[in-house]
Amino acid sequence: MGVQLPVVSLFSGAGGLDLAVEGCDASRPLRVAVATDYDAAALATLSKNFPETETLCGDIRTTETDELLDKGNLSVGEPVLVVGGPPCTPFSKSGFWLEEKRESRDPNASLLDDYVRIVRESRPEAFILENVQGLTYKTHKEQFGRLLKSLTQLGYNPQWKVLLAADYGVPQLRRRVFVVGRRDGKPFRFPAATHSGWSERDRIVDPTKLPYISAREVIGNLLPGTPESGELVEGEFGELAAEVPPGQNYLWHSDRYGGRNVFKWRSRYWTFLLRLDPSRPSTTLQAQPGPWVGPFHWENLPGEDGKPRARRLRVPEMLRLMTFPDEFQLVGTRSDAQRQLGNAVPVELGKVVVRSLMQQLGYINTDDAECRQNIAEQLHFSLS
């Protein structure tokens, strides 16, 4: 095992990207020297799973770079990577009902500037920033452009791309934008997709790639599982949710499908009463879903009245769909667990980006990587 290479983690949350960093390659291991977040519960989760990582809980806007480096026993220029995803709420479609978010006036959007500040003052060899796809929308053009310009002025030559997690062997149709830059100014090359299938946008399947990993492949063997408090979908739309077939949503109960004619066409968000299709990857797991927002599991369970009810995904199922280890421990309530996982980066997607960057920086020998077998095939068959 080589010398561990230090990493600074910002907006760390529960540690999805941190797991990717420390698990990307055994021959040249990275270590998260220091991690910071304002969410105490999420940082408690990270500390429980990364006992050797120093943590700093606080607002990044009032956290000095020197304080972070000192906490991790690092000096300027020593971190190999700065990684992290500023809170995605300002750029998420789920927040567009707020006028200030539609008009890109959310004050939390300034956290991008603090990410740049820490890169500027810590001078890592490279950085990885991730966020929701919404950051790239025209609504946020000014902020995204300022981010890229600022990082360019630092000499890092940032490259960005929206990646679909399912394209890289994650059983989830989750899109995230990654921005990657190198201190030496050489452009980062994003890794090619390893899997193919049809999504909500694309119906063309590449037969030369591995098929998408389905929800059933990764969580089917968890059934019947252990029930969790509050998992059944009750209330106003409880019966309607139970009648929605796998892969369908509230539109099943419109005049165009076979359910009850209750909802007008396209009158709700797509995720309303959405059920998992076991034969396909999951849709995006949300951090703070409403009471009737899915994806819900494809199976029904009896309610207190004996009638069938849809159920919410359980924590072990969410861990699998986010490609977290089964043994990963989440601190807090079930709602805390969903929020922490819904805000996280799918671990295997993060690994693909981190591994590619470390190869291009020369820390991982690409010949050795090829000799280990194709990583995508390893993931596919380990989840099957």
pLDDT of residue 104: 42
Task: Show the domains of the chain with their CATH numbers.
Answer: 5-206+328-383 (3.40.50.150), 227-313 (no CATH)
- Fill in the amino acid letter for 366: T
**Alpha-carbon dihedral 334, 336, 342, 345, rounded to 10 degrees:** -120
- 98 pLDDT tier (thresholds 50, 70, 90): very low
Q: Is 5 helix (H, G, I), strand (E, B) or coil?
A: strand
| CA-wise closest residue to 128 among 200, 78, 177 | 177
Q: For 339-373, b where at least 16 C-beta lie within 10 A, e where not — what string?
A: bbbbbbbbbbbbbbbbbbbbbbbebbeeeebeeee
Cβ contact 197:211 at 8 Å: yes
* Mean of pLDDT values over 283-303: 95
Tokens standing for 152?
A: 């360019």
pLDDT of residue 2: 58
The residue whose two tokens read 């291009």 is 360
Cβ contact 12:84 at 8 Å: yes
Distant-in-sequence, close-in-space partners of 216: CB < 8 Å, separation ≥ 6: 278, 279
pLDDT tens readout for residues 113-138? 999 999 999 999 999 999 999 998 98
* Mean of pLDDT values over 327-350: 95
- Fill in the amino acid letter for 10: L
Q: Can you list the pairs that 55-63 forms with residues at least 24 positions away whose Cβ atoms lie under 8 Å?
A: 55/12, 60/10, 60/11, 60/36, 60/111, 60/114, 60/115, 60/118, 61/110, 61/111, 61/114, 63/36
pLDDT of residue 138: 87
The answer, yes or no, to whether residue 167 has pLDDT greater than 50, is yes
| CA-wise closest residue to 282 among 222, 223, 322, 238 | 322
Distant-in-sequence, close-in-space partners of 240: CB < 8 Å, separation ≥ 6: 250, 253, 259, 260, 262, 273
- Fill in the amino acid letter for 276: L
User: Given 24, 57, 88, 371, which residue is catalytic?
Assistant: 88
Does the CA dihedral 335-337-341-343 come out positive or negative?
positive
Between CA 12 and CA 21, with CA 16 as vertex, the angle to 5 degrees is 90
Residue 107, classified by CB atoms within 10 Å of its CB into exposed (0-12), middle (13-18) or buried (19+), is exposed
57 is catalytic: no
* 5/248 Cα distance (integer angstroms): 46
Cβ contact 185:159 at 8 Å: no
pLDDT of residue 261: 95
pLDDT tens readout for residues 106-116? 554 579 999 99
- 28 pLDDT tier (thresholds 50, 70, 90): confident
Beta bridge partners of 271: none
The answer, yes or no, to whether residue 355 has pLDDT greater than 80, is yes
Beta bridge partners of 84: 10, 129
* 177/166 Cα distance (integer angstroms): 14
Percent of the chain predicted with pLDDT > 90: 82
* 278/285 Cα distance (integer angstroms): 15
- Fill in the amino acid letter for 35: A
pLDDT of residue 199: 86
* 223/201 Cα distance (integer angstroms): 30
